[in-house]
Amino acid sequence: MARIKAEFIRLKFIMVAVFFLCAKTYILYKMGFRIQSENVLQEILLIINPLSSTVFLIGISLLFSGKIRNIMVIVTSLLATCTLYFNLLYFRFFSDFLTWPVLFQTSNAQDLQGSITELTKFSDFLLLLDIVILTFLVLKNKIPVHLKGKREPVILLAVTGLLFFINISIAQLERPQLLTRAFDREMLVKNIGIMNYHVYDAFIQSQSKAQRVFAESSDIDGVLRYRNENYKEPDPDMLGIAEGKNVIVLSLESLQSFVINETLNGEEITPFLNSLIEESYYFDNFYHQTAQGKTSDSEFLVANSLFGRDSGSVFFTHAGNEFNSLPEMLNESGYYTSVMHANNKSFWNRDMMYLSFGYNTFFDINSYDVNEENSIGWGLKDEDFFEQSIDLLKSQSQPYYTKFITLTNHFPFELGEEDKLIDEFDSNSGTLNRYFPTVRYMDHALEVFFDRLKEEGMYDDSIFILYGDHYGISEYHHRAMSKFLGKEELTPFDHVQLQKVPMIVHIPGHRNEINHTVSGQIDIKPTIMHLLGMDTKEDIQFGSDLFSLERQSFVVLRDRSFVTDDLVYTKGSCYLKKDGTEIELEKCDPYFEKVNLDLDFSDKVLYGDLLRFY
């Protein structure tokens, strides 16, 4: 008994630090990450799940003696706090937790600086409170110094292991197969804690790296068989309809469908797009399928008809892969291919990935005149971007395939007064409020662009593909969003519906048609290829032509949610598409196989770099 007591006194400082860190993590779960629990067991898990990793991390100080030991307690607490804080910043932007691949995307960090000030809050300093107290105690010599104990490291490991075992056992009760099935990151954090989640993520990432090494050429056979079974014949009336025309693809930053044909204070939010839709093929059940790689994921989906990664950005992790990308195929058919985007070429590792995609030219920030007057937020304003792009377009040989990536409608949605064509919204989310004027501005910039193309006689020979790259308003702003939509609260069903982005195929002189097929960005590549009269039978694709009469009305999102004509599945629940009523999960059963095959085969191609065998 006396020995236990003595040991207790020896470890008092460490235990206080552990308590502080656990309490801080729990408070952040609730207030920062807004994690909600549905029952008592889940709440208990939230309270205890930081324990094992905290004991382990701060316990590292036991490997040291004397003063250093006390200092190490502070250092490890600080390290953990930084990890929590980076997650918090990331969460405020993406409503998601950090992953290892995202951390290594450092070249994006400098461009995020503008957003960082928007994401930090003064009260964030409170996160350092425990560190300040611990440091004060050490500096004032209030903490006795101890020598290193021989058995302490072993005991530390045993205690950590035991705590983790208790944690995982309860988690297993709450979520069977938590670690073996692919649940989302929030669920992992909820169950095993944020630090353990990072360890788990590291394990998963290294596993995916290993897949390339062990891939064999015969692995492609199963993929090919699956692809052939799912091939859809093009609509003969649409096949080759735009053969030899220039293709202008417009990737519209953060544009979601909920603003289309909508008004704010009686004013249209997207008057130009609304009128363009009147003379275009418009797909009103079209979803983005991106994950953490945002714009780059959408580019990947469009260029390859393959899925991006469920974490990190494929642009960073697999730029060295062999692809059968659309630009490369178009080059072979005599097209000149390019991207126009007034940002640093290395953002999202584009310069590297575009080489793999086979683009002839990337007109990056160096091709534009960017100065203080014509910039806002992330850089060159859309209107100036389009205006300056006209000459670049002219410099290309025809036919060309050129993708434009807009920038002004990007979080934090900043805009100069002179460009505000409609008022901000009025809610508790500044982000959502500012979104409307920047969307309206982008819409205006597009109108100017189309007018200029007509003026220059460049319009008639082109076809236009316009789509939203990903959501602009994250889950974090749901309360404000529900106010705009006039709903009491937003359910996971509503969240999936908010992942709809506009998709417009505009062929000058063609009739207007609204197409309700449920679809996504993965379907763009085969659609363009068929419009240009190209054969897709031999190409490994996971999407299908939007115009095909045989196509299945279906989309799977990267988090394994899916949508059909009648159903929406997300986060373990099945809903009726028409009104969002939750129904028995069994109703969604028939589709899980397709969801898994689509995603798993596509991942297999990516991780195994299988196209190098094809």
Could you tell me how many residues of this chain bind Mn ion (CB under 5 A)? 4
User: In the bound complex, what is the minimum distance in angstroms from residue 345's beta carbon to ligand GP9?
Assistant: 10
Distances (CA, A) of 143 to 10, 11, 64, 163, 217: 10, 11, 15, 26, 62
Residue 185 amino acid letter: R
CA dist 410 and 377 (Å) reads 8
Helix, coil or strand: residue 104: coil
Contact flag: residue 370 with ligand GP9 (CB under 6 A) = no
Pick 24 or 294: Cβ nearer ligand GP9: 294
Residue 436 class from Cβ within 10 Å (0-12 exposed, 13-18 middle, 19+ buried)? buried
Contact residue for ligand GP9 among 343, 356, 409, 519 (CB under 6 A): 343
User: In the bound complex, what is the minimum distance in angstroms from residue 472's beta carbon to Mn ion?
Assistant: 8
Contact flag: residue 405 with ligand GP9 (CB under 6 A) = yes
Active-site position among 295, 402, 517, 527? 295
CA dist 545 and 234 (Å) reads 7
CA dist 31 and 119 (Å) reads 15
CA dist 539 and 309 (Å) reads 20
Contact flag: residue 410 with ligand GP9 (CB under 6 A) = yes
Residue 193 · residue 590 · CB < 8 Å: no
436 binds, among Mn ion, ligand GP9, none (CB under 5 to 8 A by kind): none
Q: Point out which span in 3-11, 462-470, 517-525, 530-538 binds Mn ion (CB under 5 A).
A: 462-470
Pick 175 or 294: Cβ nearer ligand GP9: 294
String of DSSP letters for 455-520: HTT-STTEEEEEEE-S-SS-GGGHHHHHHHHT-S---HHHHHHTTB--EEEE-TTPPPEEE---EE
Contact flag: residue 499 with Mn ion (CB under 5 A) = no
Active site residue 295: yes
Contact flag: residue 294 with ligand GP9 (CB under 6 A) = yes
Q: Point out which span in 225-233, 339-347, 389-397, 439-447 binds ligand GP9 (CB under 6 A).
A: 339-347
443 binds, among Mn ion, ligand GP9, none (CB under 5 to 8 A by kind): none
Pick 471 or 554: Cβ nearer ligand GP9: 471
Pick 56 or 94: Cβ nearer ligand GP9: 94
Residues 245-264 that bind Mn ion (CB under 5 A): 253
CA dist 605 and 306 (Å) reads 8
Pick 156 or 302: Cβ nearer Mn ion: 302
Report which of 538, 541, 546, 555 is spatially closest to residue 595, judged by C-alpha positions.
555
Report which of 280, 259, 250 is spatially closest to residue 500, judged by C-alpha positions.
259
User: In the bound complex, what is the minimum distance in angstroms from residue 290's beta carbon to Mn ion?
Assistant: 8
Contact flag: residue 295 with ligand GP9 (CB under 6 A) = yes
Contact residue for Mn ion among 53, 81, 295, 499 (CB under 5 A): 295
Residue 477 · residue 432 · CB < 8 Å: yes
Distances (CA, A) of 223 to 465, 524, 598, 602: 29, 20, 10, 8
Residues engaged in binding ligand GP9 (CB under 6 A): 253, 294-295, 341, 343, 347, 405, 410
Residues engaged in binding Mn ion (CB under 5 A): 253, 294-295, 469
**Residue positions annotated with a catalytic role:** 295
